[in-house]
Amino acid sequence: MMPKLEIEPGSSAVYHTGDWRTRQPRYQDKWPPCSQVCPASEDIQAWLALAAEQQWQAAWRKLTDRNPFPATMGRICYHACESACNRKHLDSAVNIHAMERYLGDMAIARGWQHKPYCDQPQAQRVAIIGAGPAGLSCAFQLARHGYAVTIFDAGVAPGGTLHSGIPDYRLPKAILASEIDAILALGIELRLNSRVGDVVNEAALRDEFDAVFVAIGTQQPRHYPHADHSNHSLMSGLEFLHRLNRGEPVALPKQVAVIGGGNTAIDVARCARRLGAEATVICAHDPHGSHHRELGTEMPASLQEVVEAEAEGVQLIYRAGVRRLVRSGEHLSGIEIAHVDQLHDRHGNFNPVLFDGTEEFVAAGLAIFAIGQETDWQGLAQLSQASEKEGVWIGGDAAGKSKLAATAVGSGYQAAMSIMASLKGESFRYGEHKKSKVTFRDMQLHYYPKQTRCEGEMSEQRLEGFNEVVKGLVDDDAVYEAKRCLSCGVCFECDNCWHFCPDAAVIKKTGAYEIDYDYCKGCGICAQECPCGHIDMEALK
Amino acid sequence: MDNRDPFRHNVLTSGHRACSGCGEAMAARMVSDLVGPEAIYVNATGCLQVFSTHNQQSAWQAPWLHSVFANAAAVASGVEAALRAKGKHTPVVVQAGDGGTFDIGLQCLSGMIERGHDVLFVCYDNEAYMNTGVQRSSSTPHAVRTSTSPPGQFSQGKHEIKKDVISIIAAHQMPYAATATIAYFPDLKAKVEKAMRIKGPRFLQVLSPCPLGWAHDSGLSVTVSRLAVETGLFPLVELEHGELTGVMRIAEQKPVEAYLRPQGRFKHLFGSKAGSVELRHLQALADARIRRYGLLDADTQWTTESAMQSERHGRGGYAGEQA
């Protein structure tokens, strides 16, 4: 029999070292830079994480929560997400747009259908004017929440500019049609050839429906101020693309000049090359100076499109403006251009300053102007002035400055949320952007291996038709690419905080960690060694 | 018994009195969780012994004993011999600081190895006598400020260089001796698991930063220990029967200044002429160690980069994981 000790030994766990601390760690989900800049507010990190685990359908569902056009956007979006990606500070950005396309193509191939959020139909009815990306995105969200939605469109096919303004080599029509069909399958009524303000009366529309979303885009080409557009040797870029996309034959002269620096101009030039013409783009901007001191804005076209266009033999003349159109009789023989120093005066009016003595002649039998487009409000006088309080929302390109399809999708989502809140009598707040940001400085990039980025292949024989130029990722590459995501600001369970806590104050639970504040001494190692910047140290008062 | 964590035993549990950010507490918890709670732990005097068994409150959730500073290896030899006599295979682990290994405990350690006891000896090397107020030890590197090697008019900190204890141990022609540090858990795990598979005396030197004695921010313990490896000042090596059998290759060598800057114990070296000489000396020491072990051109995939890679859902857990 052992003699009893005077003082019984006990566990140190009865002593709470937590009261030593002057600062404390806290797990904090942050908003990665990709999502922050995504016009459609996609939770990119979340769907890439699901894709990394090959939960393809779950990844597609997460993605389509915000954007029902992954196959489309994966092809045509200018992926601001990739410019913002923190991975570029380690090697190169995650190929997010190729992943988006991969998921979208997979959904089409496997016939995945969208699921409604609720089976209970709502009593109210919503009218949407315009079956473009904004209108369809809004309709998609409303229909998933059980609202009866009717879309009115003036055109013969849904899709808006996605259908009429984007050439086949960037977006095959069948891909777009599949994604639109999947949206309409939620029970959305689509009325084509029904121009509101013409076939349908705007006042009758407001009587019949509880809310109206106007997403008519910008279908009116902006005219060049000093040119006579009735002349047959002038055309607008929009009209050219519409005719091509409708399948109408377009006869081109040997040489075509395209005026403009946006994506429409580049699209027009690339289409003209495919039709056998020589194409020259006359552009006031310069793609290599990202921000022009004199011109004030970046070249609107995406650099990738410009590079692809150059590879296809499109000639680009930068920092040039039109001095005059040179005619021989009725026909255009070319354009006299000059170095442009300024496009707009300080009041914002179009007033180019061209430098004398820098003139050049560009031979062309057809001049296509792609210098922007405007909203056509004809017959919509009432709706254009109405406010959200009166049950009218305006979104997409018709509402703002940005001309990106993804912005339209995001605008449609926000309008849907706002409309639903209004119909329920609630106030609407758009909350996500309140989450804190995470930059590469908040992260420990040395915990990530360097991995080169996978690109989709470029097809050969590009100029022989309107077949798609960029191919998608192959299966193995898709998993690899999804795994390249750094998961900025969102825990990916690397165990670092758990391994490195000197006080065993980080408890690992299935799928999460917990800090035991009874023992945490606030040393800060977990926050310092967290690869993705998920842990913040807060000062204690 | 504390079993808050379903994925880990926590052999060294919470409530111990180590300073905030203690590298030794982290290292001891990692090693003991990798060895498991079935082992018998013998502790030399030092920080670990003091902070883990304060006021009769033990942080150890495994059999643990402490005798005096010098004789931990001798005590463990006795424990192992007794277990052997009783026909038991319980693992025996000695834990000591650099004082209890490099200086005061060296004779008993040498004897234990020479007699071939089946014991794992782990040295948590924090490069000074931290427990008693940061006095220099034979492990303290060159030019470090300690309370007994203060820099001033005639001195730039400790004059002597760090004792190369791993070579002394390896010279015993013993089965397994290795160096490790807290920054590379997968490496530490591989070495502990390898040591536990080997019979006979085994030795592990684990560099364990001390925020108080090294005078760096408590959150930087792991970062500093990683920089010790990346600069070449603390090579990660494995020696079997006296032969070098493995190194962690340095993927990208960092200048020693990256390691020295965050630490107050090297602060006096910056901004003086005499200090800049010592900076060059320390860089030369790092370069010499890199050359000696071939740390830049070793033929191995195990590098400071590959041992760092984070993986979704963890980089491997502990032996005897419950879930």
Q: Where are the domains of chain A?
A: 12-28+491-539, 125-219+375-433, 224-371
Q: What 3-state DSSP class applies to A350? A: strand
List pLDDT tens digits, range B110-125: 999 999 999 999 999 9
Flag the least confident range among A110-119, A221-230, A371-380, B21-30: A221-230
Flag the least confident range among A313-327, B42-56, B101-115, B269-283: A313-327
End-to-end CA distance of chain B: 19
- Is the CB of B20 less than 8 angstroms away from the CB of A10? no
What's the DSSP call for residue B286?
H
More confident residue, A174 or A297: A174
Q: Which structure tokens are listed for B31? A: 């090693």
Q: Is the pLDDT of residue A290 over 50?
A: no
> Residue B323 — pLDDT band, cuts 50, 70, 90?
very low
According to DSSP, the β-strands at A315-317 and A320-328 are unpaired
Chain A positions touching B13 (Cβ under 8 A) are 11-13, 504
- Percent of chain A exceeding pLDDT 90 equals 55
Q: Is the pLDDT of residue A226 over 70?
A: no
Q: Any idea which fold A12-28+491-539 has? A: Alpha-Beta Plaits (3.30.70)
- Is the CB of A504 less than 8 angstroms away from the CB of B12? yes
- Is the CB of B219 less than 8 angstroms away from the CB of A504? no
Q: What local confidence, expressed as pLDDT, does residue A296 receive?
A: 45
Region B60-81: mean pLDDT is 96
Q: How far, in Å, CA of B94 to CA of B103, rounded? A: 16
Q: What local confidence, expressed as pLDDT, does residue A3 receive?
A: 66
Q: What local confidence, expressed as pLDDT, does residue A294 receive?
A: 44
Q: What local confidence, expressed as pLDDT, does residue B322 receive?
A: 38
Q: What local confidence, expressed as pLDDT, does residue A2 receive?
A: 65
Distance from CA of B179 to the nearest CA of A (A): 18
C-alpha torsion B120→B126→B131→B135, nearest 10? 130
Q: What local confidence, expressed as pLDDT, does residue A536 receive?
A: 94
Average pLDDT, chain A: 88
Q: How far, in Å, CA of A121 to CA of A146, rounded? A: 4
Task: Write the CA distances from A231 to A61, A235, A332, A373, B231, integer angstroms.
Answer: 50, 8, 9, 19, 73
- Is the CB of A492 less than 8 angstroms away from the CB of B314? no
Region A481-495: mean pLDDT is 93
- CB of B56 within 8 Å of a chain A CB? The answer is yes
Distance from CA of B304 to the nearest CA of A (A): 10
- Percent of chain B exceeding pLDDT 70 equals 97
Q: How far, in Å, CA of A386 to CA of A196, rounded? A: 15
Q: What local confidence, expressed as pLDDT, does residue A7 receive?
A: 62
List pLDDT tens digits, range A204-219: 888 999 999 999 988 8
* Residue of chain A minimizing CA distance to B54: A12
> Residue A350 — pLDDT band, cuts 50, 70, 90?
confident
List pLDDT tens digits, range B237-284: 999 999 999 999 999 999 999 999 999 999 999 999 999 999 999 999
| Residues B216, B134 contacting (CB under 8 angstroms) | no
Q: How far, in Å, CA of A60 to CA of A106, rounded? A: 9
Q: What local confidence, expressed as pLDDT, does residue B203 receive?
A: 98
Q: What local confidence, expressed as pLDDT, does residue A4 receive?
A: 64
- Percent of chain B exceeding pLDDT 90 equals 89
Q: What local confidence, expressed as pLDDT, does residue B127 receive?
A: 97
How far, rounded to the nearest angstrom, does the alpha carbon of residue A448 sit from its chain's CA centroid?
27
> Residue B321 — pLDDT band, cuts 50, 70, 90?
very low
Region B91-104: mean pLDDT is 97
State the Rg of chain A over Cα: 28
- CB of B18 within 8 Å of a chain A CB? The answer is yes
Q: What local confidence, expressed as pLDDT, does residue A291 receive?
A: 44
- Percent of chain A exceeding pLDDT 70 equals 93
Flag the least confident range among A109-113, A500-504, B281-285, B313-317: B313-317
Chain B positions touching A51 (Cβ under 8 A) are none
Sorted by where each starts, the structural domains of chain B and their CATH numbers stand as 23-308 (3.40.50.970)
Q: Which structure tokens are listed for B51? A: 């902070």
Write the CB contacts of A500 (distance below 8 Å, at least 6 apart in sequence): A525, A526, A529, B26, B182, B185, B222
Q: How is chain A split among helix, strand and coil, in percent rounded to 5? A: 35, 20, 45
Choose the most confident range, by mean pLDDT, from A165-169, A237-241, B143-147. B143-147
Q: Do the domains at A125-219+375-433 and A224-371 have one common CATH topology?
A: yes
Q: Is the pLDDT of residue B197 over 80?
A: yes
Which parts of A111-167 fold into alpha helices (H)? 133-144, 161-164
> Residue A143 — pLDDT band, cuts 50, 70, 90?
very high
Distance from CA of B23 to the nearest CA of A (A): 7
> Residue A402 — pLDDT band, cuts 50, 70, 90?
low
More confident residue, A176 or A462: A176
Q: How far, in Å, CA of A136 to CA of A114, rounded? A: 14
Write out the DSSP string of B41-106.
EEE-SSHHHHHHEETTEE-BSS-EEE--STTHHHHHHHHHHHHHHTT----EEEEEESIIIIITTH
Q: How far, in Å, CA of B23 to CA of B37, rounded? A: 21
Q: Is the pLDDT of residue A9 over 70?
A: yes
Choose the most confident range, by mean pLDDT, from A5-14, A249-258, A292-301. A249-258
Flag the least confident range among A59-73, A77-91, A296-310, A357-371: A296-310
Flag the least confident range among A169-183, A279-293, A326-340: A279-293
- Is the CB of A525 less than 8 angstroms away from the CB of B219? yes
Flag the least confident range among A5-14, A161-170, A435-444, B135-144: A5-14
| Residues B295, B243 contacting (CB under 8 angstroms) | no
Residue B144: name the closest of B98, B179, B206 by CA.
B98
Q: Is the pLDDT of residue A297 over 90?
A: no
How far, rounded to the nearest angstrom, does the alpha carbon of residue B173 sit from its chain's CA centroid?
21
What's the DSSP call for residue A458?
B
Average pLDDT, chain B: 94
List pLDDT tens digits, range A92-132: 999 999 999 999 999 999 999 999 988 788 899 999 999 99
According to DSSP, the β-strands at A320-328 and A331-344 are antiparallel
More confident residue, B2 or A196: A196
Chain A positions touching B217 (Cβ under 8 A) are 524
Q: What local confidence, expressed as pLDDT, does residue A5 receive?
A: 60
What CATH number is given for A125-219+375-433 in this structure?
Answer: 3.50.50.60
Q: What local confidence, expressed as pLDDT, does residue A125 receive?
A: 94
- Is the CB of B312 less than 8 angstroms away from the CB of A483? yes
Q: Any idea which fold A224-371 has? A: FAD/NAD(P)-binding domain (3.50.50)
Region A175-186: mean pLDDT is 96
